Amino acid sequence: MTPGRFLVVLLLALLGATGAFWLSLQRHLPRDASFGPSALPGLAGELPQVDHLSITAADGRHVTIERRGESFGIAEFDGYPADRQRVQKLLAALADLHLASRDVGHLVNQDGAMTVALSGRLAPRQIRIGPAAGPETAYVRIDAADAIGIAGPAPPVDADAGHWLASPLVDIADGAVRRLVYAADTAPLDVARPAPGAPFAWAGARTGTPTAEALATAPATLVVALPVLGARALNRSEPFIAQTVVETFDGLRIEFAGRADPGRHWLRYRAGTVPAPGAAADEIEHARRLAARLQVLGQAFEVDIPAARYAILFPAAD
């Protein structure tokens, strides 16, 4: 190969690599070549300055996400932590929203659209998201620009944003539960697994029998993705008396205390770690960090849970 040809090949290779690197940095490129300018110009560079995220559904339901240091809290849940990854994903999707066309003649009014408002240390922005206009697109109205059009990719906004954006209360894999201890009439009912995925057997002194339904369903539904229906600041001073204890194979220990109000079922919990025979070092560290996060929530909030889950979490003795 001649020196001249070699230089040409080298130049083309450098240009190709530079182009690939530039594209890798474009995190907010529209997914469709027909999409045009950004619906919310400049937002991509100002996401760290968003301190308030307000979502109002078409039926009037409302949720406000507020920045609290490095994290976010849900105002309607007394500041219960929002899921940071879901909040960041939603903000990134709003920054990635591009107009495909304008003035389509489709009315996006306040009664039939979801309103998303951003404020904080940036210029306030508000957008109304109407019905779907096609695959991954929706009719939108950008209030500041008084513009109506079709935009995409449509952001993943759930009408039930308060629950959708809430940080998961407890999310433990089914087979990870090693031991369950139920306090029934002050007599513990203790079941344990010898290994992940094995059936539960009685452990310790058997002093009673839980309901067959509770014992059969508890391993699969006790703390796996325990939902948050609502949360409020814990302003009660009675002592914490654990009614159910859950231990996992990696060393996480969670103690639950429940209380039934008319029409609602509330729980509190506290978390820690216990020695777990055979657990790897990274598993123990994961359990420690999870316990620290759960303990903060358990100290500050009590959480509403479905009545059916309450019955499983706090089974009565026969």
Please give the average per-residue pLDDT across 207-217, as a whole number: 70
d(CA 184, CA 168): 27
Checking if the pLDDT of 30 tops 50, the result is: no
User: What digits encode the pLDDT tens for the residues 257-289?
Assistant: 999 888 899 999 999 998 777 888 888 888 898
Tell me the pLDDT tens digit for each residue of 218-261. Answer: 777 788 888 888 899 988 777 888 999 999 988 999 999 999 88
Which strand ranges, in their side-by-side order, compose the sheet holding 201-202? 201-202, 187-192, 177-184, 244-248, 252-261, 264-273, 301-304, 230-233
Paired tokens of 7: 């230089």
| Range in 49-63, 135-149, 153-167 the model is least confident about | 135-149
The model's pTM is 0.76
The verdict on whether omega for the bond into residue 153 sits within 30 degrees of 0, i.e. cis, is yes
Q: Quick one: pLDDT at residue 90?
A: 95
Rounded to whole angstroms, the Cα distance separating 28 from 18 reads 18
Query: Is residue 198 scored above 50 in pLDDT?
Result: yes
- Greater confidence (230 vs 145) lies with 230
Reply yes or no on whether the pLDDT at 24 is more than 50.
Answer: no
- The confidence band for 158, taking pLDDT boundaries of 50, 70 and 90, is confident
pLDDT value, residue 208:
65
> Partners of 273 in the beta sheet?
252
Segment 145-159 shows an average pLDDT of 83
On the 0-12 / 13-18 / 19+ scale of CB atoms within 10 A, 231 is buried
Q: Which residue has 């759960």 as its token pair?
A: 294
55 C-beta neighbours (distance < 10 Å), count: 23
pLDDT (tens digit per residue) in 38-89: 889 999 999 999 999 999 998 888 999 999 888 899 999 999 999 989 999 9
Give yes or no for residue 7 having a pLDDT over 70: no
| The pair of three-digit structure tokens given for residue 316, joined into one six-digit string | 């009565």
| Alpha helix ranges (H) inside 2-81 | 3-25
> Between 276 and 6, whose confidence is greater?
276
Mean pLDDT of the chain: 81
